[in-house]
Structure 1
Amino acid sequence: MTRPQPRPGIDEIKPYVPGSAVTGFDGPVYKLASNESALGPSPKAMEAYEAAAGKLHIYPDGSARVLREALAARYGLAPELIVCGAGSDEILQLLCKAYLGPGDNIVMSRHGFSVYHILAQGCGASTKFAEEKNLTADVDALLAQVDENTRILFIANPNNPTGTAISGEELARLREGLREDVLLVVDAAYAEYMDWVDYDEGTSLVRAAIGTGAENTVMTRTFSKIYGLGGLRLGWAYCPPSIAEVLNKVRGPFNVSLSAIEAGVAAVSDDEFVDDNRDHNRRERARVTQRLRGLGFEVGDSHGNFVLAKGRGDAPVEDVTALIEFLKTRGVTVRQMGGYFLPDYVRISIGSTEANDVCLNAISEFASQ
Structure 2
Amino acid sequence: MPALQRPEPRAGVLKIQAYVPGKSSAPGVAKVHKLSSNETPLGPSPQAVAAYIGEAERLHDYPDGAATALREAIGRAFGLDPARIVCGAGSDELLNLVAHAYLGPGDEAIHTTHGFLVYPIATLAAGATPVVAPETNYTADVDTILAAVSERTKVVFLANPNNPTGTYVPFDEVKRLHRALPPHVVLMLDAAYAEYVRRNDYEAGIELVATSENVVMCRTFSKIHGLAALRLGWLYGPPHIVDALNRIRGPFNVNAPAIAAGVAAMGDAAHVERSRAHNERWLAWLTEEIGRLGLAVTPSVGNFLLIHFPEAKGRTAKDADALLTSRGLILRRLEPYRLPNALRMTVGSEEANRQVVATLAELLGKSA
Q: TM tier, shorter chain?
A: over 0.9
How many Å separate the matches in 1 of 2:132 and 2:76? 37
- Counterpart for residue 22 of structure 2: 19
8 Å CA contact 2:112, 2:133 repeated in 1 = yes
- Range 25-34 or range 274-283, more displaced: 25-34
Which of 254, 257, 262 matches 2:255? 257
Unaligned runs of at least 5 residues, structure 2: none
8 Å CA contact 1:22, 1:332 repeated in 2 = no
Which of 17, 30, 46 matches 2:49? 46
TM superposition shift of 1:24: 2.1
Q: Does 1:173 align with 2:173?
A: no
- Counterpart for residue 343 of structure 1: 340
Which of 193, 196, 202 matches 2:196? 193
- Counterpart for residue 139 of structure 1: 142
8 Å CA contact 1:296, 1:312 repeated in 2 = no
- Range 250-259 or range 38-47, more displaced: 38-47
8 Å CA contact 1:113, 1:160 repeated in 2 = yes
8 Å CA contact 2:26, 2:326 repeated in 1 = no
TM superposition shift of 1:358: 2.0
Residues 172-229 of structure 1: CA deviation (Å, up to 9, x unaligned): 11111100110000000000001111211001111121xxxxx111000000000000
- Whichever residue aligns with residue 56 of structure 1, its letter is L
- Counterpart for residue 352 of structure 1: 349
Which of 307, 319, 322 matches 1:309? 307
TM superposition shift of 1:131: 1.0
How many Å separate the matches in 1 of 2:25 and 2:58? 36
Three-state SS of the structure 2 residue aligned to 1:20 is coil
- Whichever residue aligns with residue 74 of structure 1, its letter is A
Alignment of 1:107-122 (within 5 A): 107-122=110-125
Three-state SS of the structure 2 residue aligned to 1:179 is coil
Alignment of 1:1-369 (within 5 A): 2-209=5-212, 215-312=213-310, 314=312, 319-368=316-365
8 Å CA contact 2:26, 2:330 repeated in 1 = no
How many Å separate the matches in 1 of 2:76 and 2:26? 44
8 Å CA contact 1:68, 1:79 repeated in 2 = yes
How many Å separate the matches in 2 of 1:253 and 1:48? 23
- Range 26-35 or range 224-233, more displaced: 26-35
How many Å separate the matches in 2 of 1:113 and 1:105? 17
- Whichever residue aligns with residue 335 of structure 1, its letter is R
Percent pairwise identity: 47
With normalisation by structure 2, the TM-score equals 0.96
Residues 243-291 of structure 1: CA deviation (Å, up to 9, x unaligned): 0001100000000000000000000011111000000001011111111
TM superposition shift of 1:44: 1.2
- Whichever residue aligns with residue 224 of structure 2, its letter is I
Q: What is the count of residue pairs matched by the alignment?
A: 363
How many Å separate the matches in 2 of 1:165 and 1:13? 27
- Whichever residue aligns with residue 13 of structure 2, its letter is I
With normalisation by structure 1, the TM-score equals 0.96
8 Å CA contact 2:26, 2:32 repeated in 1 = no
Unaligned runs of at least 5 residues, structure 1: 210-214
